Amino acid sequence: MVSRPASRRWRVGSVHGFAFASGQAATVTMMHTLKAGDHVVSIDDVYAGTQQYFTRIATPMGLNFTFCDMAAPGALEAAILPTTRLVWLETPTNPTMKITSIEAVAAAAHAVGALLVVDNTFASPYLQSPLALGADVVFHSVSKYIGGHSDLVMGALVTSDAALAVRLRHLQINMGATPSPFDCFLASRGLKTLALRMVAHSTNGAAVAAAVEAHPAVRKVLYPGLASHPSHAVATMQMRGGGGMMTFWLRGGLPAARAFLGALSVVTLAVSLGGVESLVEHPALMTHASLPPEVRAELGIDDGMVRLSVGIEDAADVVADITQALDAAKAVIDGGAPATAAPATGAVGAAAAPPKVTGVKRPHE
């Protein structure tokens, strides 16, 4: 998963691109292409900020939403209604790393005349080309891999549909959610090194994933480049590398997670991702704490889940840091001294102050 196939399917690019002041601004603008009464099918494990906007803001304004696991056979087809106008897909998803066939979802959406929007944030345009696989619009949180330096908040929508581009341009201008010139400069700077960084993220990600999977403190790890990923075959077909994102589950639940996070020294505890530095977070207490507990449980976001964004540091340094932190978690699992450090207070229960929090973006990012 490190080569770039010569097939045209990897070279189909967008004709029209639109930048926004944030990823949420891009999402809101896309939803304004719809009207009250229209129905949207979204993948169930959608980014928490998107889920909150869909359910708490767009729904009261008249849009209807159904959430389903699009990788499950027949689930998308069962969720589609006569009023379905748009399908929203993330692949890989945040934070459970679900991988779904873009081609299959595109076929189902287009069969009923619906548009397919693919959130490509975790893969980046370097590792995955949704338009070439049938998507109508690609969404990016530019704050993440495209920016790449944890100093930018921006979103983008890209498409090859000329008529849709006219509508998006009209909305972009008149809704006012455009980015500043300096943010555009930062995004341009990031794009210049995107290819180099994504190769490094993928190389380091593979090394870290292998080490995490082999550690006895870990119950399960999901990384697109691992053969153990349930959708590894799909990832191999539509991605050009494993990337730097992974999620794993510690055997000891929250006490083990506290021990792990408190023992890290190279990897930073922060809610963002996709930067040159390695970042880790606890979804149940941090990025996804706003989701109802029953929704988190249904998605598998439990107290032992840890999301890791592997940076481009020396791979040996990152592996060593994570390994010693996993050793600390295992000591708690085996009945050792409880951890004294913990992630920030969240919906799962009170916790001590985090061991270190630097460079943190907005919690919902």
What pLDDT, on the 0 to 100 scale, is given for residue 291?
81
pLDDT at 360 over 80: no
Which carries the bigger pLDDT value, residue 207 or residue 11?
Answer: 207
Mean pLDDT across 257-270: 97
Say how far apart CA 183 and CA 188 lie, in whole Å: 9
Q: How confident is the model at residue 12 (pLDDT cuts 50, 70, 90)?
A: low
Mean pLDDT across 161-179: 96
Percent of the chain with pLDDT over 90: 83
Say how far apart CA 250 and CA 244 lie, in whole Å: 19
Token look-up 């979204």 returns 42
Q: How confident is the model at residue 153 (pLDDT cuts 50, 70, 90)?
A: very high
In the chain, domain spans: 15-186, 195-334
What pLDDT, on the 0 to 100 scale, is given for residue 351?
37
Residue 291's identity, in one-letter code, is L
Say how far apart CA 203 and CA 200 lie, in whole Å: 5
Average pLDDT, whole number, for the chain? 90
Say how far apart CA 64 and CA 73 lie, in whole Å: 23
Which run of H or E residues covers position 43?
strand 39-43
The bridge status of strand 245-250 relative to strand 268-269 is unpaired
The string of pLDDT tens digits covering residues 34-47 is 999 999 999 999 99
Tokens for 129, please give them: 């080309």
What is the model's pTM?
A: 0.89
Question: Helix crossing, 162-175 with 23-31: angle to 10°?
Answer: 120
Q: Are 343 and 254 in contact (CB under 8 A)?
A: no
Tokens for 105, please give them: 């979802």
pLDDT at 10 over 80: no
What pLDDT, on the 0 to 100 scale, is given for residue 361?
36
Record: fold of 15-186: Aspartate Aminotransferase; domain 2 (3.40.640)
Q: For 195-334, which CATH superfamily applies?
A: Aspartate Aminotransferase, domain 1 (3.90.1150.10)
Q: For the chain, what is the radius of gyration of the CA atoms?
A: 20
Mean pLDDT across 272-296: 92
What pLDDT, on the 0 to 100 scale, is given for residue 8?
38
Percent of the chain with pLDDT over 70: 88
The string of pLDDT tens digits covering residues 196-205 is 999 999 999 9
The string of pLDDT tens digits covering residues 46-74 is 998 999 999 999 999 999 999 999 999 99
Mean pLDDT across 168-194: 97
pLDDT at 162 over 80: yes
Q: Are 18 and 32 in contact (CB under 8 A)?
A: no
What pLDDT, on the 0 to 100 scale, is given for residue 299?
87
